[in-house]
Amino acid sequence: MHYDAIVIGCGGMGSAALRALALKGKRVLGIEQFEPGHDRGSSHGHSRIIRLAYNEHPDYVPLLRRAFELWSDIEVETGQRLFVKTGGLDIGPMDGRVVTGALAACRTHSLAHEWMTGPEIHRRFPGVEVPEHYGAVFHEEAGYLNPEACIDAMVASAVGHGAALKEGETLQSLARLSDGWDLCTDRGRYTADQVIVTAGAWSQFVLPDLERLAIPERQVVGWFDSLDPSRFSAEQFPVFILDSPYGEYYGFPIDESGRGFKIGRFHHLKEEVDPQKSLATPDEADEAVLRQAIEEFFPLAAGELQRMQTCMFTNSPDGHFIIDRHPDSSNLIVAAGFSGHGFKFACVVGELLAELACDPDASPVPLFAWDRFAQQG
């Protein structure tokens, strides 16, 4: 069967692309090797931070503004609650990357924010213990998304607007035709004018030239019982990014279902992995990485471990996304290398991919262009 476009991989980015193309009236097919919202990749675990005061780079802020709008639109369309507003803290040494980056984003884009010294952080949020030389940027609009619910909602919207979805199909070959692409899976054969690759940690198996541009890495998060749950409820405690001597951490309050205080360290143990193989089961060494930050900075959250869970980051060389046409094929579009901070942007990434697919004059966001790696030598 022939399609205007085929999306390979229907996690966060792929389901968003499927929806965006369907909204444009395109005949579009999504191919997913597992099922949307599965727990083998990068889009599970019940919560993902979304915030405007973005310490990674100020150029992300306009995309985040659009993301807040789109997530709200999807909530209204589907009737699903996707976002929980908690406020957000970027915490760390006053001259550190996290705090200075968040302040730069706020100042560049005139974002409402509140500056706090170390003692002020503790007075406002008694569950946080930091040295006096630490500071924090508080931004009230931040919170978290439920990634599984977001994917379910985007898939439902896409299908409702005419998209087709094939679950449990594994891509076996992708071949160029004179005027499009031929795809074979273990269950069928399809052709399309354009192909969009949103395969996450499996991107290199679809396009081998992504092997060193989208590198899978094992990540571990944990949920802990709190010694004083009232201090860490979603009504009282914000999502956070923490710059510490042990690395940069991210975390979440206790959610409405009673899941514990959740925390992870960016790039955990820096373990490159093969997504075709099972990830190592979390163990005491993984717990120690998480617990050292909790015990020092959130001691009242340092109760018994409820559970740990693995996922994968897929890292680009510079930590920024790759969202662009393939250098050798204008009708092959790639979104990869989201480097552990991409999910909040999924709905916007879908729009960017649909624009690249539908408008031959559309250019990629410069920060996300493929050719930046060639320019870096």
Q: 180: domain CATH number?
A: 3.50.50.60
Each residue's pLDDT tens digit, 277-298: 999 999 999 999 999 999 999 9
Of the candidates 295, 311, 327, which is a domain's last residue?
311
- Residue 309 above 60 pLDDT? yes
pLDDT at position 374 is 84
Residues 243 and 274 in one domain: yes
pLDDT band at 214 (very low <50, low <70, confident <90, very high): very high
Task: Say yes or no: 204 and 229 in one domain.
Answer: no
- Residue 154: is its pLDDT beyond 60? yes
Q: How far apart are CA 89 and CA 297, in angstroms?
A: 13
Pick from 349, 369, 342: nearest CA to 17: 349
Q: Would you state the pLDDT for residue 49? A: 98
Same domain, 224 and 210: no
Please tell me the total count of domains within the chain.
2
pLDDT surpassing 60 at residue 377: no
Its sign, for the CA torsion 159, 76, 263, 109, is: positive
135 in a domain, yes or no? yes
Residue that terminates a domain, selected from 292, 311, 330: 311
62 within a domain of the structure (yes/no): no
What one-letter code names the amino acid at 174? Answer: L
Q: What is the C-alpha separation between 369 and 363, in angstroms, rounded?
A: 9
Average pLDDT over residues 187-216: 97
Last residue of a domain, one of 265, 280, 311: 311
**224 has pLDDT over 80:** yes
Widest pairwise Cα distance in the chain: 66
Tell me: do 136 and 224 sit in the same domain.
yes
User: Do the domain assignments include residue 77?
Assistant: no
If asked whether residues 371 and 231 sit together in one domain, one would say: no
Asked whether residue 16 is domain-assigned, the answer is yes
CATH code for the domain of 259? 3.30.9.10
- 83: β partners: 145
Residues 223 and 305 placed together within one structural domain of the fold: yes
Within 8 A by CB and 6+ apart from 374, the residues are none
The predicted structure's pLDDT at residue 329: 96
Given a cut of 60, whether residue 299 has pLDDT beyond it is yes
pLDDT tens-digit readout, 338-349: 999 999 999 999
Q: Are residues 32 and 177 in the same domain?
A: yes
pLDDT of 376 > 70? The answer is no
Say if residue 212's pLDDT is above 70. yes
Question: Do residues 154 and 15 lie in contact, with contact meaning Cβ atoms separated by under 8 Å?
Answer: yes
Please check whether residues 266 and 223 belong to one and the same domain: yes
> Are 367 and 350 in the same domain?
yes
Residue 50 lies in a domain: no
Question: Domain check: are 118 and 223 in the same one?
Answer: yes
In this structure, are 241 and 331 located in the same domain? no
Gap between the Cα atoms of 358 and 364, Å rounded? 13
Over range 78-91, report the average pLDDT.
98
Spatial distance between the Cα atoms of 285 and 291, rounded to a whole number of angstroms: 10
pLDDT of residue 258: 85
Residue 164 lies in a domain: yes
32 within some domain: yes
**Is the pLDDT assigned to residue 171 strictly greater than 80?**
yes
Do residue 325 and residue 342 come from a single domain? yes
| Domain enclosing residue 339, as ranges | 2-44+148-214+318-375
CA distance 215 to 209: 11
56 within domain boundaries: no
Question: What DSSP designation does 269 have?
Answer: T
| Whether pLDDT at 213 is above 90 | yes
